Amino acid sequence: MGIPVLDAVHVGRQPIFDAQGAVVAYELLFRGRMDDVASGRQDTYATSAVMVNAFTEFGIAEVAGNRPCFINLTREFVTGRLPLPFGPEQVVLEVLETVDVDDEVIAGLTALAEAGYKIALDDFVWGSGHERLLGLASYVKLDLLDGDLSRLGDIVAACREHPGIQLVAERLETADQVAIADHFGMELRQGYALSRPQVLSTPSLSPSRMRRLELVAALMSPDVPLDKITAIIVSDPALALRVLRVSNSVAAGVVSRISSVRQAVMLVGLTRIRRWATLMVVDDVAEAPEEQLLTVLTQARLCENLAPRFGADPGAAFVAGLVAGMAGLMALTPSAMTDQLPLTVEVSDALAYGTGRLGEVLRAVRAYEDGEWGSGDLAGLSLDAMRWSTRTLTAAHRFKPPSTRRRPA
């Protein structure tokens, strides 16, 4: 089959500093290429791409550690027409200045604030209508480069009437602008004078577009069986890896770790899985050729089939095989992959050090694939794994709408 050509995904990250110069947060920005200096777009696609890439391609811990992330929101997200797939724990929702404030926007932001999300008002301008949101905001960002500084004192005074608001001096490019931030006691600062945005990149295998649509459709049913959702996810290695990465952000601070895709789905919850799947459809990245994932899926299934011979858990063996295979495709070590996922010690040690019963399973499968298997016949189990992988990958293709069967040239 050959080695697939991987796309890379990118996220811009610009630090936000406190008055003492310590990094206290990051703003995440859309970047289409590694060498993009500026985003060039602030639309729904850009917001969706930032969310999907930061949380499911990198893993939010890789992007920001434990610091909060400011993420731009368009009207569709503010009003709830598109769902937010993450909780309020590590995000600040930044309302773009292009969002027209009306009753629907106020209602949407009120609901988000009541749910625990922190709200930031970007490029705040008095008289734009965004002053109606001051009672909901935790942060107000003031443009000290192109903003109207003649009314800055009045704006700062109006914001100070709301004790919960912190002021963010943004677009600081000169020492004079930093001095203005100091003069008005602005708590946070952002701009080229302090730090330019950094573009983070990572290789990516996108889940198949049809599998995402299939998952969204299945999740529309209020009584969909958990096993059906798990089956859809495990049939696409890239989608399964994204769910594992999402579960890592949910698992922060949780004592229990996961050893199967089913556990990851249970940890994230069907509601949030549906939101992520919806967002991936909006993101609408190019569909990865399914045949390129067949080897990974077959390896994971073979590990699952072989697990009972070594007294290992089949679900954990599937995850170990999946992560090992995806690491190979993405030119990463299995050990590096385990740092991004909330795996049990047994699974992570098997991947990183080859220890335990799962380590024996991985070595046996690797030896068989290298033609070195000498004590036992895996041909039957391998054939079953190939048949299962082929069946699961082609079943969705068989039921694709005509418009999705052929990829545009």
In the prediction, which pLDDT does 54 show? Answer: 79
How much is the pTM? Answer: 0.60
CATH label, 206-405, candidates 3.30.450, 1.10.10, 3.40.50, 1.10.3210 = 1.10.3210
Residue 2: pLDDT over 50: no
**H or E element that contains 327:** helix 314-329
Which of 128-137, 157-166, 289-298, 384-393 has the least mean pLDDT? 289-298
Alpha carbons within 13 A on the beta-carbon side of 267: 25
The candidate with the shortest Cα–Cα distance to 135, out of 169, 97, 101, is: 101
In the prediction, which pLDDT does 208 show? Answer: 64
* 186-233 residue pLDDT tens: 999 999 999 988 888 876 656 666 566 567 667 756 677 888 888 888
Which of 34-38, 156-160, 172-176 has the least mean pLDDT? 34-38
Q: Which two tokens stand for residue 331?
A: 């030119």
Higher pLDDT, 136 or 334: 136
**Residue type for 217, please?**
A
Q: How confident is the model at residue 286 (pLDDT cuts 50, 70, 90)?
A: very low
> What is the average per-residue pLDDT within 243-262?
71
* 79-100 residue pLDDT tens: 887 778 788 888 999 999 989 9
> What is the average per-residue pLDDT within 41-49?
70
**Residue type for 133, please?**
L
- Out of 181-190, 262-271, 343-352, give the one with best mean pLDDT: 181-190
In the prediction, which pLDDT does 234 show? Answer: 82
Angle at 287 between CA 198 and CA 47, to 5 degrees: 40
- 346-381: b or e for each residue (b if 16 or more CB lie within 10 Å)? bbbbbbbeeebbbbbbbebbbebeeeebeeeebeeb
Q: Which two tokens stand for residue 38?
A: 């500026």
- Cα(67)–Cα(71) distance, integer angstroms: 13
CATH label, 7-202, candidates 3.30.70.60, 2.40.40.20, 3.20.20.450, 3.40.50.12780 = 3.20.20.450
- Cα(319)–Cα(322) distance, integer angstroms: 5
Higher pLDDT, 293 or 66: 66
Angle at 331 between CA 329 and CA 335, to 5 degrees: 100
Residue 260: pLDDT over 60: yes
In the prediction, which pLDDT does 165 show? Answer: 96
Alpha carbons within 13 A on the beta-carbon side of 157: 4
Query: Where along the chain do its domains lie?
Result: 7-202, 206-405
Which of 144-158, 293-307, 348-362 has the least mean pLDDT? 293-307
* 380-398 residue pLDDT tens: 888 888 887 776 555 444 4
Q: How confident is the model at residue 265 (pLDDT cuts 50, 70, 90)?
A: confident
Residue 5: pLDDT over 70: no
Residue 278: pLDDT over 70: no
In the prediction, which pLDDT does 404 show? Answer: 38
- Cα(194)–Cα(133) distance, integer angstroms: 28
